Structure 1
Amino acid sequence: MRSLMTLLPGGGRTLPALGALLLLTGCGPRAVRLGAVLPLTGDLAAYGQSLERGILTAENQVNRQGGIEGRRLDVLIRDSASDPKRAAEAFRTLVLDEKVAAVVGGGSSDEALAMAPLAAQYRRILFSPSASSPILSSYAGDFVFRNWPSDALEGRATADLVAYTLHANSVLLFAERNAYADGLASAFEKRFSTQGRIVDRLDFSAAEAGSAPFLKSALERSRGAQVLYLVGYGPDLLPLIAGLKREKVDRPMLSVSALAEQHFMAKAGRLLDGVVFLRPAYNPDSSSPVVQVFTSAYESRYHHVPDIYAAHAYDAVMVLVSVMARNGLSAQDIRKGLLSMKDFLGASGSMSFDARGEVIQPYEACVAEDGRVVPLKSVLDKVLPLMQHRVDELRFGQ
């Protein structure tokens, strides 16, 4: 008798209830294994833990729906400890010892860049849910993919916001010394520094961000700027933002999508109020059935609303599962499936990949408010006029 099939997001197939029961009780054929390399400890642990929760939500959902053609999904998660070298070692171990065809990771651009040459060497898929450095584009479409857009897009979009919405022509750019921040900062500089507009760039390390000498230099250079643009990982930016606000530096502040990690944002509280940033569009309250399934499963397990990092990690697993169910389990099968993927509907929105393997997704402007990420369009009249007025005062002496 013909079985009823359950559809995965994006059209993948799973076996019916009996298959799911066999999987949940540990019976049935050998499991399909994916790897994951995430910063579960160290400086970037907040991001890695959010990514892990999204991956585990996806793994559980896939297995409850019958797995991949009747085979249980097991995701082997390894901790990079926020260290690119350890990430590369973990990738190599997963590929050579565990024989996985695909690895989800890394949590940061530096980790992904450390693993990307190994993906090419061993001809295994590296799929990052959060690495955004434009340098990663040089590997994209071969065996490296990501469902977080390149920072080249965010940097250019932020430059347009500052130039054409705030009408500023002078920016002090703070850039943390890492691949993530450099990619964003360079894209912003290139876009903004035209038609006589000026970018004063001040690089810093995480260790010096809150130090008195660095803050003194920042205060001196901020006097010539109409807008401050702070680029780096959230925990490393926090001491700098705290110092600038403590010294009452009255300039509109813009930052980056790394602020959108839920637990970091809640911990920072009102300190980040008024900081505007762009991130890939994401709405956990969407009426989309795919989003509702994800948020319901996630909230029942972790008892809070999933953030954008959890959503992207969930989607990374679900798109890989969909491709494996449709195309096959080898790295080459997965690669071909990803390159032909169009309009995959995930928790983070609709997803397609261009010919280079780069994801195509829109951005949205947000503002930090009382420890939460708020879409700027919902508070536009309250936030934007004040920023524009302050830029006008600084630019024209009004």
Structure 2
Amino acid sequence: MHPMETAMSSRRLITTLAGATALILALAGCSGPSAADEAESSDVIRLGVPLPETGDNAQYGEYFKQGYELKLAEINRAGGIDGRQVELVYEDSQSDPAQAASLAQKFIDDSSIVATFADFGTPAAAASSPLYQQAGLLQFLFTQSASDVTDPGDYIFATWVSQEYEAPRLAEFALEHGDEAAVFYHDTDWGLNTYGFFNTGAEDAGLDQVYTTAYDPQGKDFRPLLLAAAKATPDVIVIIGYAADGALITAQARELGLEQPIVGISSIYNQQFIELAGDAAEGVETLSYFTPENPDKTVQKFIADFSDAYDVAVPSDFAIRAYDALSILAEAIEAAAADGDITRESVRDALAAGSDFDTILYGPVTFNEKRRVDDAQQYPLVVRDGAFVLRD
């Protein structure tokens, strides 16, 4: 393998998180109400929802709201939980770690909040997790796939399959196009964690990385990196990134005349990727936990309901994940109510003890000892005629 050209920008992440860490330490001594202060009987069941309503990641906040609101309407139309309506308390975090930590403390201090969902992305969620854990308020992560996101403690749960499983599978997927790859991955904690598992998988599978680089996901010009990759003459280009930056890399690769097959990790499965990459998206492949071609009746009903609600033919993977997150948590809250009072502790316990929670993305799921969803089936997809479809 050729030497890695990384141009790491970890200092940026450290600087960004430093403020959040300082805030966590400052707030740790005032972690909010005790269990005795929790809401035990109220007219509504309230859940905290930090999400990016503004800023660079606002599109993801919009996807989240679509999934949340569709499931919320279903729950409340059916009579709520234990005869009580459910309310989502939205707060704009901009996916900023410092803001996420501040909102975590706000939710902790509000005794009517019985559980919270996580923000978009690993940095914002990670900045909040220690606070939630110390206060005994459940944090439900559904867009975080790094292997260590639930490490802060037993009040942190996650549904995205760990990159421990997904990233090595991506290496095997790329190998189908040739045994020499150019690999681009996020210069973030998530990217480093994911690439570590990809690298191990590549070595095991026999995929030779002739060019490897970390990149700033906020960057706009990836041409110098792509030109350097082109000199290594790879058989395939691998992108470990998100939809927006992955689309930009894809478009610029095609502009420069790079014709190699491009495969991306599952987080590029998003209509935004196709919209931003344009014609360059054609032929790009990924592995996804969802396909609208899944014949399962529950999946097809969900797609139809989503289309009716939002006039969108195919829901975003992130909207589905938000829908599933609220669905799972609602089941846990219902179980807690059946056993007694709905409190922060009883909701956490019901989630840990429960099994076969219904989801659109995975089917029935049960959390393992790390409070994660175990490995799940992925579908090979390719972009054809402006849509992700099952690959032949």
TM-score, normalised to structure 2, is 0.81
**Match of 1:55?**
68
Instruction: Specify the code of the residue in structure 2 equivalent to 1:81.
Output: Q
Among candidates 156, 164, 179, match of residue 169 of structure 1: 179
Among candidates 208, 216, 226, match of residue 198 of structure 1: 208
**Match of 1:304?**
312
Cα distance change, pair 198–111 in 1 and its aligned pair in 2 (3 A)? same
Q: CA deviation at 1:284?
A: 6.9
Q: In the comparison of the two structures, how many residue pairs are matched?
A: 344
**Match of 1:152?**
164
**Match of 2:371?**
357
Does structure 1 conserve the Cα–Cα contact (< 8 Å) formed by 2:46 and 2:88? yes
Among candidates 122, 127, 148, match of residue 135 of structure 1: 148
Cα distance change, pair 285–207 in 1 and its aligned pair in 2 (3 A)? closer
**Match of 2:385?**
370
Q: Which moved more, 1:326-335 or 1:150-159?
A: 326-335
Does structure 2 conserve the Cα–Cα contact (< 8 Å) formed by 1:209 and 1:215? no
Q: CA deviation at 1:230?
A: 0.9
Q: CA deviation at 1:295?
A: 3.2
Does structure 2 conserve the Cα–Cα contact (< 8 Å) formed by 1:260 and 1:308? yes
Task: Establish whether residue 180 from structure 1 lines up as the match of residue 180 from structure 2.
Answer: no
CA distance in 2, matches of 1:212, 1:267: 17
CA distance in 2, matches of 1:265, 1:41: 22
In structure 1, the gaps of 5 or more residues are 1-27, 381-398
CA distance in 2, matches of 1:80, 1:374: 33
Secondary structure of 1:47's aligned partner: helix
**Match of 1:42?**
55
TM-score, normalised to structure 1, is 0.80
Cα distance change, pair 228–78 in 1 and its aligned pair in 2 (3 A)? same
Secondary structure of 1:365's aligned partner: strand
Q: Deviations over 1:145-197 (max 9, x none)?
A: 1222112221011112234x44x332211112123322222211011124764
Q: CA deviation at 1:355?
A: 1.6
Q: CA deviation at 1:292?
A: 4.6
Secondary structure of 2:149's aligned partner: helix
Instruction: Specify the code of the residue in structure 1 equivalent to 2:383.
Output: A
CA distance in 2, matches of 1:40, 1:265: 22
Does structure 1 conserve the Cα–Cα contact (< 8 Å) formed by 2:269 and 2:317? yes
Q: Which moved more, 1:131-140 or 1:58-67?
A: 131-140
Q: CA deviation at 1:70?
A: 0.8
**Match of 2:224?**
213
Cα distance change, pair 195–65 in 1 and its aligned pair in 2 (3 A)? closer
Q: CA deviation at 1:98?
A: 5.5
Task: Establish whether residue 68 from structure 1 lines up as the match of residue 81 from structure 2.
Answer: yes
Secondary structure of 2:366's aligned partner: strand
CA distance in 2, matches of 1:100, 1:339: 19
Does structure 2 conserve the Cα–Cα contact (< 8 Å) formed by 1:35 and 1:103? yes
Instruction: Specify the code of the residue in structure 2 equivalent to 1:278.
Output: L
CA distance in 2, matches of 1:211, 1:190: 25
Does structure 1 conserve the Cα–Cα contact (< 8 Å) formed by 2:266 and 2:287? yes
Within 5 Å, which residues of 2 pair with 1:255-274?
A: 255-274=264-283
Q: CA deviation at 1:48?
A: 2.0
CA distance in 2, matches of 1:42, 1:52: 16
RMSD of aligned residue pairs (Cα, Å): 2.3
